[in-house]
Amino acid sequence: MEKNLGKILIIDDDEDVLLAAKLLLKRHAHEVLIEKNPKKIPFLLNNDSYDVILLDMNFSTDITSGKEGFYWLNQILEKDPSAVVILITAFGDVEMAVRALKQGATDFVLKPWQNEKLIATISSALRLKNSYKEVDKLKQEKKQLVEGLSQPFKEMIGESTAMKNVFSIIDKVAQTDANVLILGENGTGKELVARAIHQRSNRRDSVFISVDMGAITETLFESELFGHKKGAFTDAREDRVGRFELANSGTLFLDEIGNLSHPLQSKLLTALQNREITRIGSNRSMAIDIRLICATNMPLYEMVKDHSFRQDLLYRINTVEIYLPALRERAEDIPLLGEHFLKTYCNKYRKPTAKISSSAIKKLQEYPWPGNVRELQHGIERAIIMSESNILTPDDFFFLNTQSDHQSSVADSYNLEEVEKNLIQKAIQKSSGNISKAAKELGLTRASLYRRLEKHGL
């Protein structure tokens, strides 16, 4: 017989009751302890822990009122607020049962008990205790996670005017439920901004659900975002909760929203307008309560002009807009970022604390960083791994020279793709990262230049 009732303590002044209960329960519990004298309860609790405590409500000094039982119940819960206590008495009534439950008892049984009912009651109480433990564990994990994430703009580093403006907008918009659109190149930290907004919002204790819209295929779009019922289509072997439903009462972050096709834009717009979704295969709609944050590196306003992005959807998602500057537009932040990543990777790879020389900093500030902060992070990690000194010099970032040399060498290439990529890079460098100036230099519209940047992964 499986013993799944854990460790049980029984306290009753009637020896016959104690022996009968122990005889019954020892076949189902890992351990059963009995005690006749309730005054030993503090000692027992100080020296051991129990999954379930069965406590008599009436002892010899007070036959029928249950006062002693309530007294010892309070003593137990004072010692261990999470204790699961089942009160037993031969004189129970509804009023006493309600009072016991209000004071913290888990359940209430009458003597003489029915064996099967007593075992079922203890089993149910034990499941409840385990659920309490799980909830407490999840609360602690969430608390630690929130504390880690809620540090002021953790991982978002910058003292430039551009970044101070970003921080200011985050502080202003976070406490509202306004939809936010984050614009910026790849690697600038758009998801960090979204998480910072969530952590400062009134929804901080609810979930943050991130969805990469560029990675969702047309066929899976509705299933991923809205969910489906079992049997709704060939591979729907079980019910699936969509991202909107998962994010209910929390924040939904839709990254790379500029990659959606027109039909998918329409479906998304409908859900946002109606504030409800319907799982595939279901006829029942479900109300949703989310804070929406979207991000893209695409030129949405140019795309609206050439009809590749719906204007009404753009209006819906950008109540407040945040532009994240490229790293080359805030080169003054590079020393601060470099110091942060330096400490991070010295700790990670257990290397002595290193420094970046002033000449290396100058080289880092002159490099255009097409991959932005993410590229700088990887560059410093690589330098830390390869360097044999505790001071990083320009030579430790030789791979940046290699990229520049490669760019100049492809000018002699007759490969049109390479030539176009090289010219775009040179135009961006010449205009110090200003897309409008670079586009004018190349004789292109901003939208055309953005499309080529996307094509070449720049």
Torsion angle of C-alpha atoms 249, 250, 255, 260, degrees rounded to 10:
0
pLDDT tens for 281-315 read 888 888 999 999 999 999 999 999 989 999 999 99
**Which three-class secondary structure state does DSSP give residue 437?**
helix
Range from 136-145, 187-196, 200-209, 214-223 carrying the lowest mean pLDDT: 136-145
Q: What is the pLDDT of residue 137?
A: 61
Rounded Cα gap, residues 140 and 117, in angstroms? 35
In 3D space, the residue among 99, 103, 11, 98 whose CA is nearest the CA of residue 53 turns out to be 11
Of 454 and 45, which is predicted with more confidence? 45
Mean pLDDT for the chain overall: 85
Range from 241-245, 279-283, 320-324, 404-408 carrying the lowest mean pLDDT: 404-408
Long-range contacts of residues 12-21, Cβ cutoff 8 Å, at least 24 apart: 12/36, 12/54, 12/56, 12/88, 13/37, 13/38, 13/56, 13/59, 13/60, 14/56, 17/56, 17/111, 21/54, 21/118
Of 240 and 375, which is predicted with more confidence? 375
Does residue 38 contact residue 57 with C-beta atoms inside 8 Å? no
Give 333's DSSP letter: G
Query: 411 pLDDT exceeds 60?
Result: no
Q: Where in the chain is the domain with CATH 3.40.50.2300?
A: 7-136
- Tell me the average pLDDT across 22-47: 89
Of 153 and 170, which is predicted with more confidence? 170
**Which three-class secondary structure state does DSSP give residue 170?**
helix
- In this structure, the number of other CB atoms found within 10 A of the CB of residue 181 comes to 21
Q: Does domain 7-136 have CATH number 3.30.110.40?
A: no
Range from 102-106, 372-376, 432-436 carrying the lowest mean pLDDT: 432-436
DSSP 53-77: EEEES-BTTBSSS-HHHHHHHHHHH
Q: Where in the chain is the domain with CATH 3.40.50.300?
A: 161-323
- What type of residue sits at position 370? P
CATH homologous superfamily of 161-323 = P-loop containing nucleotide triphosphate hydrolases (3.40.50.300)
Spatial neighbors of 172 by CB under 8 A, at least 6 apart, are none
Of 78 and 94, which is predicted with more confidence? 78
Q: What is the pLDDT of residue 149?
A: 46
In 3D space, the residue among 109, 55, 116, 56 whose CA is nearest the CA of residue 83 turns out to be 55
Number of helices (H), then strands (E), in the chain: 19, 16
pLDDT band at 407 (very low <50, low <70, confident <90, very high): very low
pLDDT band at 381 (very low <50, low <70, confident <90, very high): very high
Query: 2 pLDDT exceeds 70?
Result: no
Q: For residue 308, give both structure tokens.
A: 């590749």
Range from 130-134, 261-265, 397-401 carrying the lowest mean pLDDT: 130-134
Q: What is the pLDDT of residue 323?
A: 95
Residue with tokens 């939904």: 252
Query: 409 pLDDT exceeds 50?
Result: no
Q: Which of 96-110, 114-128, 337-351 has the highest mean pLDDT?
A: 337-351
pLDDT band at 191 (very low <50, low <70, confident <90, very high): very high
Q: What is the radius of gyration, based on Cα positions, of the chain? A: 32
Torsion angle of C-alpha atoms 342, 343, 345, 350, degrees rounded to 10:
130
- Tell me the average pLDDT across 163-190: 94
Rounded Cα gap, residues 227 and 245, in angstroms? 8
Query: 16 pLDDT exceeds 70?
Result: yes
- What type of residue sits at position 69? G
Q: What is the pLDDT of residue 60?
A: 61
Q: For residue 150, give both structure tokens.
A: 């809620």
DSSP 262-308: HHHHHHHHHHHHHTEEE-BT-S-EEE---EEEEEESS-HHHHHHTTS
Query: 419 pLDDT exceeds 90?
Result: no
Q: What is the pLDDT of residue 148?
A: 45
Strand partners, 10: 34, 54
CA-angle at 422, arms to 361 and 212, nearest 5°: 75
CA-angle at 312, arms to 306 and 315, nearest 5°: 105
- In this structure, the number of other CB atoms found within 10 A of the CB of residue 212 comes to 12
pLDDT tens for 195-218 read 999 999 999 989 999 999 988 888
- Tell me the average pLDDT across 387-399: 89
